[in-house]
A and B are shown apart, each in its own frame.
Chain A
Amino acid sequence: MTSWIFAIVQTLCVVLLAPFMAGWVKWLKCKLQNRQGPAPWQPYRDLLRLSKKQAVVAETASPVFRAAPYIVFSVTVVAASIIPVFSVEMPTAALADVIVLVGFFALIRFFLSLAGMDVGTAFGGMGSSREVTISALAEPALLMAFFTLAMNASSTNLSTVVSHFGQSQFILHPSLIFSSMGFILVALAETGRIPIDNPATHLELTMIHEAMILEYSGRHLALLEWAAMLKLTLYSVLIVNFIIPWGVAMTIAPQALAIGVLSVTGKLLILGAFLAIAETVQAKMRLFRAPHFLGLAFILSLLGMISHIVLEVR
């Protein structure tokens, strides 16, 4: 019972802390670029402001448009509830494994891109078309990277995978190096960061995610923005817990949990700093360069998997 309560509390923590993660990256990025920049807690103010505002819906919009923000947000929350963040002892991880997690991300994207096409403006369709192209190439790479990790741990259950890497002796398997590199590239693409998409842009030639949600306002927009921040946080958690899982609590005993919370939060902040640096030194790619980028991610992930099967299985 306590573990169920813990799982729910942990999910709430992640959902509530996600805007800070996004704000932290933005703040650091501004500092790196010699700009004043909003405070890291600015996203909370934005979300509050948006949720208070009146929502305007286009007269050509269908029920899909209105339902999409709720579907997207609740699927993201359920995805957050199955990922072990601070401790691996969570019963909700048995609900769904990595493949289901990838399915959740696909479901989110499905409804987002439908919502983009709903109103009947050019921008929405453009955003949706680009989004499905990018993710059609990213998803196989993501799945391959997850499969390599799952084969290493001989389980697709997220908790089992993280505890396998957390408890086993640190060995630099070639498969893990390849699949981690592939996974990081995919994470950049899937969370809409530079060099694939720019979260700060509103230029028609460059935007992907922003184009899809261009017609949204008020609380609908708040939900979509929040879901996007949550997705960024989830991918970051996956990166730190899969690749550098030290410190993640194996139980929910208070002491272990305290170490877990501190270490994971610290690692997330450092990862955010890396993201800010990467976004500062890099420029966004042209859309038609993105397939090369994602093709690289796919090859890396596939190499990881094959090297695991050929070299490491004994």
Chain B
Amino acid sequence: MDTYPVLTVAQLAIFLSFLSAVLPLLFLRQPYLLVRTAFLLLGSAGLAAAWAGGVTLLTNHAEQVVLPIGLPWLHVFLRIDPLAGFFFFIVGFVTFTTACYGPAYLREHIGGPHPVGTLTFFTGLFVGGMLLVLLAADAFSFMIAWELMSVASYFLVAYQHHKAENRSAAFIYLLMAVVGGAFILLAYGVLAGFSDSFSFTAMAAAPLSPTWATIAFVLAFIGFGMKAGIVPLHVWLPQAHPVAPSHISALMSGVMLKVAIYGFVRFVYSLIGVIHWQWGVAVLLVGAASAVLGVLYALMQHDLKRLLAYHSVENIGIIYIGLGLSMIFHATGHMEIAALALIAALYHCLNHALFKSLLFLGAGAVLQQTRQHDMEKMGGLIRRMPVTATCFLVGCISISALPPFNGFVSEWLTYQAALQGPVLRSGILGAIIPVASAMLALTGALATACFVKVYGVIFLGLPRSPQITEAREASLGMRSAQVILALCCLLFGIFPTWAVSAINVIAENLLGTGLLKDASDGWLWLTPIGKQTASYGALPILLGLLASWLLVYFFLHPLKRDNQIRIAPAWECGFGPLTPRMQYTASAFAMPLRRVFSYLWYIREKFEPPQHGKPARYSLQVSDWLWLFLYLPIGKLILHLAKRASLIQGGNLRVYLAYSFFTLLFLLWVIV
């Protein structure tokens, strides 16, 4: 039945994205043509990738090819299987929507201080690198593709490098990416030490002692976690995402973090294979901490894109909670529940890719129209940008995990997996899993609070600064990308059974067991464990909501002309006209929660009362404890050590030659 040339199309997708990097450079003089060509090629690469990934997943197909490039004893292995196919679909689909969005978005950069050719070049390399990571089936090509992805995205973050803060953000990102890459390299090194080749099949077959397996796991956990942005390795995210162009932020947050998750899942489930429950506990706890801290830090931000970046930390935490549960159940032999938790985590990957890209694209439209990063200066945009506002609302509901949209389904599945905790019959795990699910519940509630703030302050109310009144609706390409993503958020929310049965194939491949076959109850009902245990029918709920809405509307709608709605000025308590300054600000909105969780941030608050005719001043600075008390000291220490080390830098050629000579001697002594 293998009539679909899946792997060929997948390679074509990679080729097309590299072509989208190179070919447009022919038109450096005609920037409009350049941008069009680049995004056309990128969009077709995205469609090809989405098709290849989707077909692989749906037909449960696996295919491998060995390319005779590279060193003679080090061939490049490319392989596509359902797990890679699933992530291929995510990357391809989001790339496609950003390609719809890009041309109109880049219009403002044309003629700007930086050539757009740089941007399209590195975007092509970035997407091609991500796709290659997913296809790579040996450690060597995986690492090359991984570093290509990291370095290309560094140049994208540093694109607007005339601002010092952008340069420093990009530098931190590069630093973390390099360190993370080194950890991943070491992790593969451990596996390669036990097998005779770098290919994944050989690595998976190699027997590992428990100690070395744990070392490899820890290295991979740190390495992939650095890219995924788990606490405490998250600090690059809130710095890099706000400064990158918005469609790049969508790709980085929506897709690149998922590639890191892919790497982690591939490494742990198929390369190491034998999982210990202690690893699962570590993943679960780190996931819970990332989720809660991510959303709490997000709540305190009023730069829109930085806020969204912290929400990526939160959602990665939710994915890691699912993975941790899955690993615990896997290690204790409860394969069906492990499959359920893994499906929940992977489904959340897909959902997060959809709604986070949607939110970043919406944020890009808002930023382009208002030229404001600061939420405190926005307001009332729903009247000026109705389509963007509606799509953004869908994104907000989805990310807050509210029914009937997609974010809810994956959290529901995660809860269902956590509720199976009592089968473990172990005191420690029995206490940890409830605490983790409590953290997940807290995260969900705080995310709702945060997105009420975001939406209320940006789109509702009155405009808080004059530029806002000049905002117009985004252009057609930008709107269509958002509408596609918003519709997907709804579709994956009300037809979850299809997605779950597709992802189930991955679980069957990785764990050997999928969900119980007799648990399913038709396409309408999501019943992951059993019909009596838990069920969720999203479509009937949506229909019920619509029916009761229509009924109420029918009963209450005024038939008489004189009972129409009257539009009148809002009541301003008799103090003169309503001004935008009377509204709650974003900081004021989050103030009660800031007070409740005050010990989790480093808060500096200053109030100067009004005196001598000067108005009162209030300043508030909320910083990340980890940044101040972990990363800055490390940075200082390294600078200090580097200064010490610079003593050996004499500047004299003979001295350097002597260094080389003695190093050579030393190495010869070590080896021979």
Contact = CB atoms under 8 A, between A and B. Distances in A.
Interface of A: 51-52, 54-64, 66, 70-71, 73-75, 77-78, 81, 94-97, 99-100, 103-104, 106-107, 109-110, 113-114, 116-122, 124-126, 128-130, 132-133, 135-140, 143-144, 147, 150-151, 154-157, 160, 215, 218-219, 222-223, 287-288, 291, 298, 302, 305-306, 308-310, 313
A74 B548 contact: yes
Contact of A74 (B415, B433, B545, B568): B545
Most A Cβ at <10 Å: residue of B380, B416, B442, B449: B449
Interface string B450-463: 01110111011110
B412 A99 contact: yes
Given A114-B455, A128-B589, A219 B403 contact: no
Given A60-B380, A78-B541, A136-B442, 15 more contacts: A56-B567, A63-B382, A78-B545, A99-B415, A100-B403, A100-B536, A103-B402, A107-B402, A110-B402, A117-B457, A132-B593, A139-B441, A140-B438, A144-B438, A223-B556
A75 B578 CA distance: 32
Contacts of B448: 106, 109-110, 132, 135-136, 139
Contacts of B455: 114
A125 B584 contact: yes
A256 B461 CA distance: 53
Lowest 10 A-B CB distances belong to which pairs? A125-B584, A117-B456, A58-B570, A132-B449, A139-B445, A140-B441, A74-B548, A133-B592, A120-B462, A120-B461
B570 A215 contact: yes
17 contacts: A54-B563, A58-B569, A60-B462, A60-B578, A64-B460, A94-B525, A103-B401, A113-B456, A126-B584, A129-B584, A129-B590, A132-B593, A136-B446, A136-B449, A147-B419, A150-B419, A308-B422
Nearest to A130: B592
Contact of A120 (B444, B562, B570): B570
B580 interface: yes
A206 B331 CA distance: 52
A253 to B, nearest CB: 21
A7 B162 CA distance: 65
B568 A59 contact: yes
B583 A122 contact: yes
Interface residues of B, number: 86
Interface stretch (B117-125, B253-261, B527-535): B527-535
B582 interface: yes
B569 A151 contact: no
Contacts of B541: 78, 95-96, 100
B434 interface: yes
Contacts of A215: 570-571
B584 A122 contact: yes
Contact of B570 (A51, A55, A59): A59
A42 B319 CA distance: 50
Contacts, number: 260
Interface in B587-626: 588-593, 595-596
A81 to B, nearest CB: 7
A124 B578 CA distance: 13
Contacts of A154: 533
Contacts of B533: 154-157, 160
Interface string B68-91: 000000000000000000000000
A313 B422 contact: yes
Interface in B532-565: 532-537, 540-541, 544-546, 548-549, 552-553, 556, 558, 562-565
B441 to A, nearest CB: 4
Given A100-B541, A133-B449, A223-B556, A120 B416 contact: no
A116 B452 CA distance: 10
B449 A107 contact: no
A77 B537 contact: no
B456 A70 contact: no
